[in-house]
Structure 1
């Protein structure tokens, strides 16, 4: 299933656009756009799709979605039943990163926001007291005008950037262009090597030599920066790539499992179920994508 490109009906007189939607159900399908989107759900329940991430959502759901990252908030079936009195409503804030310009984002004071916008390329969900504080700012934002709208956006993004109650949504295997590491030079080399070679076996000795470290030192270094072992991270990349191919629906499951670096189909299915609690075919149907052959 290919996501639809959506050209947003912006007011071209402004750099930031805010909408409040109130509908019987959300009608925008799986789509993407170059604008960064902040989405706050006021009413409604359903399933949220961001990249290769899928999970239920409910009232209060709050996310920031980076540019060109496919997404959809799909209401539960009950919202589409005849005679339903259910409602779906949300606040949306849209803007392009370019409104800040390179000079402003390079300012030391903008470091938190700069890293937030980079992480948003995977989509970010907020929770806890942070979500309550950010949601309050989103609702207040509707009433801002003129330069106050830009100032309020910076305040809103800073609140997101400094929150510790968040979850990255799409996997590194799906969004294979996002690096956010304090040691960018060395980690970028490792990351690039993984992304170039994940479809084949990668020995610990070869990837540690890319980092210029012994295998033991590499394992410590890698875990400190990713909070995962190298094997866990590599498996996440492979599963993320497989999810991307499943959503596209062009390949049989046995073929895409090999292209994602799994040595046999049964190993792929076992790892996929462990990661997603679903069979590959169940995951594919969640996105509305199907393949007629080799479904498991």
Structure 2
């Protein structure tokens, strides 16, 4: 099985480009456990995301909530929301992922009325697309149609994709969402993004609790409360777990020894790195390398 890797920048924004040349739309198939980490790691993007689970079931985490999406159903994830996906039941989950720029869905005039308020809303991070409802079936059919258009590129297919996207959006918003905007809630999630961004940018350096708190413009105690409430862990535990995540990628390179990897990811002690790796992975780094990364997958970090 060929392992894949999702490219994510230090600010957690997805860097992998899936778009077509002519339209800001991507529709691709994902097998969760084929990712090099065994799951789709925490990230965000400006695009709207629509998921259609074709096989098995996926567990998505969007902001502070966990959602199980079963085969035949789907999920909408709003622009800018931190999210990840895993397949803890090892169901062999495969899903279609449709990413689209919000500005491509509607004209500028309609965008202001029917798109912008939904993107900015703090109470609309995701919507489960229920295939037992007509509106859900319609959205899922449109996702399949868009994928077909991208693959076959028939004449004027870009126009057809635009029509399908407007149809998807209309079906989604006609469910009567009561939009809310909570400034405090928006600030909270932006601070969490800033702290995670800082950690992911400085993980291989010496990190103190006050450094993380400063990145989120919080006190040390507030920083700890944020991580406990939103990620169910402590800030420094998150740092070390993230370092293990990065080491898994480096262990794929046979020319690097364990000590080199330990220092590259920010541990100042090889023995401490090995102990932490064993605690998280239930095996040593060398055992993981011997399995060529095909054995136990690295457990996902807690997320919003």
TM-score by length of 1: 0.48
TM-score by length of 2: 0.47
